[in-house]
Structure 1
Amino acid sequence: MLRASVRSSRRSIGHVRGGVVLLGRRGAHKSSFGIALATASKLVTPKWMLNNPVSLVSEEMNTLAKGIMTLIGSGHPTLNKVTSYYFEAEGKKVRPMLVLLLSRALSAIPVEQRNNIKIDFTDFETAPLGKEAVQKFLATPPTDHFSPLNIIHGIQSLKNPLTRAAVPLPDRGVWDEDRGILPKQRRLAEIVEMIHTASLLHDDVIDHADTRRGRPSGNVQFSNKMAVLAGDFLLGRATVAISRLRNPEVVELMSSSIANLVEGEFMQLNNLAMEPERVAKVPAPKKLDLQPHDYRVPVATRGEVPNHTSEDAVIASAFDHYLHKSYLKTASLISKSCRATAILSGAQPPVIEAAYNFGKNLGLCFQLVDDMLDFTMSAAELGKPAGADLELGISTAPVLFAWKEDPSLGPLIRRHFAEPGDVQQVLKSVEKHDGVAKTRALAERYRDQALQNLRDALPESDSRSALEFLTNSILTRRR
């Protein structure tokens, strides 16, 4: 019922706001995001494949999909089916695409300037190292395993293990210097997509979603329990693959990005940093005599908002809360994978820092656009439920911008739109006060910062141009 009212009310928001054509409405300009992905993918596609109209993705992206399937394969057919479910559906795969394109762009930096590596003297016995030795070190593939295989496999038969050693990357002994993507960077792209897909499985359970990528969500198709277990399994396999990159800083970065996803979910449970905790009563299991537990963690210890705190200060705090939550849920994985990509390339600290900031600003831009689409697109166009944030009582940037102009939204936001008519009032206020257009303007500022980060970090190249094209096109994506 609520979702129907959100769809109905949203139709009135969809065309021109402050002279800006909003995303995704019928009659608006066609999205260039898919075109950007296809164009960027050609930069990592062999020439012979460019003549094949069926091939819309690169050699590396095709290898990525195959590599993921080998990494997540288990001895249990049902587990295989659930974990591979989202990989089988058509998806943008923006995160691994960014890793691969950034890898190529970093390779344009001369190898003499990419010598910021922790030398493993089991590989090299003498120092100092010349160009050839550094290049050889950078191009080493991920290790197959650290522990003996019988330990990894456990007591299960080696013919059908639930855990396994790493599957070697194709042509692992040959590094294509012209294309510049290192074996560990290719494996990192696989890992990033595994972590993201695990988060989708978990998110759909948390949000009670019923569609994803245009078909039934994993929790609907297989049950909540199987979706959660499959997500856990993907994260387990991803962390094993991370460790085999043999770089402690990359292990720390990627592992912390998984923790950030959880932290972001807990932050999302509250709209405001200063609001009193809204108790979430979770029914206890029937077989255990336990009291319902409040799973929400206080964001601040101040309790009720002090009387002397102005509404403007509360709104400013809400924006800070929202942006930090957006970083944890979306930008953390993108930014830390970009930083890890630069580290694996041997880049110097200023380049590593710029790569991280590029991912952070791009990720925040991506999330802001995602929050706009929730107001301007239908469920059929998105491939997932539309209006889900309002239905879940979550205040995103369009609502917060409207709140700045309409103080009456404060009580509605604090009670998470729980009373009849709250959603309709919010939608009208967002339309009246140009909440979507203002969100777009903020997304543009993050986009501009991301573009500057690229130019600070990378020399001119086709791959950098592709990254710039992708960054610009995020503002026109439709799903």
Structure 2
Amino acid sequence: MSLSKLVLPLKYSKNCRKMFQIPNMINATRHLSVSKVHFAKLAQEKKPDWNRAVSEAEKIVGYPTSFLSLRWLLSDEIANVALHLRKLVGSNHPLLKTAKGLLYNGKNNMQAWGLIVLLISKAAGHSADIPDMEQDKAAGVLHSQRALAEVTEMMRTSHLVHKGLVNLQPPNNIDANGDMMFGNKIALLSGDYLLSNCCIELANLRNQDVVELMSSAVRDLAEAEFVGPRDKENNPLPARPKNVQQEYTQFTDNNLEPLIVSEALGNAHAEWTLRHVLNAGSLLGKSCQGTLKLAGHSEELQKKGYLFGKHLALAWQACLDREPFQPGSSGPFSLVCAPLMFTLQNKPELYEHIEKGLENVEEIDYHLLRKEVLEGPGLETTKKLQKEHSQAALKVLNELPPSDARTALANIIAAVQES
């Protein structure tokens, strides 16, 4: 069934919230400045925040892509799995957090990726020799581009579901009720189901170059889980900072080739970029590149599509990395977030606190590390990084002809840049 024929009634979203025991979320009301986006015509009088930018963009592509992944979650094969998830309530299994993320309409929701692919497809248009049967003229995109956007959503969702597996190997094999083992089985099977559907959808595109491109994106997602040191719980840790920093330029090479990991480790900027190009930028960038290939655009424009997706994903990640250090925040945070990695680069002696978490993450003094980040240059450097990648994505976008789709993408970039 093609995505263009899919209709997801509002009752599905309500049923899913009930199925997953998910409370209603209140959208953020933070306003964002878009003064630097010179061509953006706002759909409303208020400056757009993330939720408003995504909501307006969904109207342009013709349907709410916030529930794109739910088509698969509501299928016969997954319906029983969703019901079994209720058994995990109260067990703190990470799969529940992932399930909530599927419906949480916030800045860090994962369903905006397919929307971005469709928007770049509509903004760039397609070549004149595309047969009429391949075109969805009402939406302004090709049927194959809709399918690729769907594949992008499924790949990202399956990756996040697989990342929710809990390490139950000794000495972490205490699972008296079997909840964690049961949750692991559900996560593994659910992720595999989504990934298998990706393969089917890609094969139906009948485009070998796009299949190769997206296959390399899956490879990058898998490789992202093996970058740098890990603790006993398999959580990522930053590499020990190097005394001498060397420029890492491989990101400009052929994006089908694997990235060289060893040369980036220990260099805060290169290591952070490598981790998130593999974990996010590769998939979004190659999806944007692939959708332009399906539309018959030149290789030059396809490469620019890759750069747009990669820079937008990195700007997005930098924005998310800053959130745990906002006023009033407390508790654990990712040890490979940009603010901490830049702080470690500036003050290498802090790395001994990271090593304390190799055996037990509870040994890490997050309060001390947070204090060092707030007092050091890490947050400001991350803000600059966020702005650089946002502007790089905007520079590519400016090369496309003016359209509602381009304006919608500009508003999304503005929401990321000014957060």
**TM-score with structure 2 length normalisation?**
0.68
Max Rg structure: 1
2:352 partner amino acid: P
Contact 2:332 2:366 in 1 (8 A): no
User: Of residues 105, 119, 123 in structure 2, which corresponds to 1:101?
Assistant: 119
Q: Sort the Cα spacing of 1:193 and 1:207 in 2 relative to 1 into closer, same or farther, 3 A.
A: farther
Contact 1:73 1:80 in 2 (8 A): no
TM-superposed CA distance for 1:193, in Å, is 1.1
| CA distance in structure 2 between the partners assigned to 1:315 and 1:269 by the alignment | 10
User: Of residues 290, 305, 310 in structure 1, which corresponds to 2:243?
Assistant: 310
Partner residue in 1 for 2:80? 78
Partner residue in 2 for 1:396? 337
Determine if the alignment matches structure 1 residue 472 to structure 2 residue 414.
yes
Unaligned runs of 5+ in 2: 1-27, 33-47, 86-97, 169-178, 247-263
Secondary structure of the residue aligned to 1:346 is coil
Q: Sort the Cα spacing of 1:354 and 1:27 in 2 relative to 1 into closer, same or farther, 3 A.
A: closer
Partner residue in 2 for 1:189? 149
Secondary structure of the residue aligned to 2:289 is helix
| CA distance in structure 2 between the partners assigned to 1:258 and 1:432 by the alignment | 38
2:332 partner amino acid: G
User: Of residues 389, 392, 414 in structure 2, which corresponds to 1:449?
Assistant: 392
The within-5 A match list for 1:37-436 is 37-45=54-62, 58=63, 61=65, 64=68, 67-68=71-72, 73-74=76-77, 77-79=79-81, 81=83, 89-91=103-105, 92=109, 93-107=111-125, 111-112=127-128, 134-136=129-131, 139-140=133-134, 175-177=135-137, 179-206=139-166, 223-267=183-227, 269-270=229-230, 280=232, 310=243, 317-376=267-326, 387-389=332-334, 394-416=335-357, 420=363, 422-436=365-379
Secondary structure of the residue aligned to 2:301 is helix
Q: Sort the Cα spacing of 1:87 and 1:249 in 2 relative to 1 into closer, same or farther, 3 A.
A: farther
Identity %: 27
| CA distance in structure 2 between the partners assigned to 1:232 and 1:33 by the alignment | 31
Partner residue in 2 for 1:33? 50
Contact 2:54 2:412 in 1 (8 A): yes
2:413 partner amino acid: T
Contact 1:315 1:403 in 2 (8 A): no
The number of residue pairs the alignment matches comes to 331
| CA distance in structure 2 between the partners assigned to 1:80 and 1:423 by the alignment | 35
Q: Sort the Cα spacing of 1:421 and 1:252 in 2 relative to 1 into closer, same or farther, 3 A.
A: closer
Aligned-residue CA RMSD (Å): 3.8
Q: Sort the Cα spacing of 1:63 and 1:400 in 2 relative to 1 into closer, same or farther, 3 A.
A: closer
Contact 2:120 2:405 in 1 (8 A): yes
Secondary structure of the residue aligned to 1:408 is helix
| CA distance in structure 1 between the partners assigned to 2:243 and 2:377 by the alignment | 23
TM-superposed CA distance for 1:462, in Å, is 1.3
TM-superposed CA distance for 1:88, in Å, is 6.5
Contact 1:402 1:429 in 2 (8 A): yes
1:42 partner amino acid: K
| CA distance in structure 2 between the partners assigned to 1:183 and 1:474 by the alignment | 29
Secondary structure of the residue aligned to 2:151 is helix
Contact 2:49 2:415 in 1 (8 A): yes
| CA distance in structure 2 between the partners assigned to 1:377 and 1:345 by the alignment | 46
Secondary structure of the residue aligned to 1:205 is coil
| CA distance in structure 1 between the partners assigned to 2:216 and 2:351 by the alignment | 34
TM-superposed CA distance for 1:233, in Å, is 1.5
2:403 partner amino acid: S
- Which one has more relative contact order, counting CA pairs under 8 Å at least 6 apart? 1
CA shift digits 1:75-120 (9 cap, x unpaired): x75246579956963444110100111111121x6x34xxxxxxxx
Moved more, 431-440 or 85-94: 85-94
TM-superposed CA distance for 1:352, in Å, is 0.5
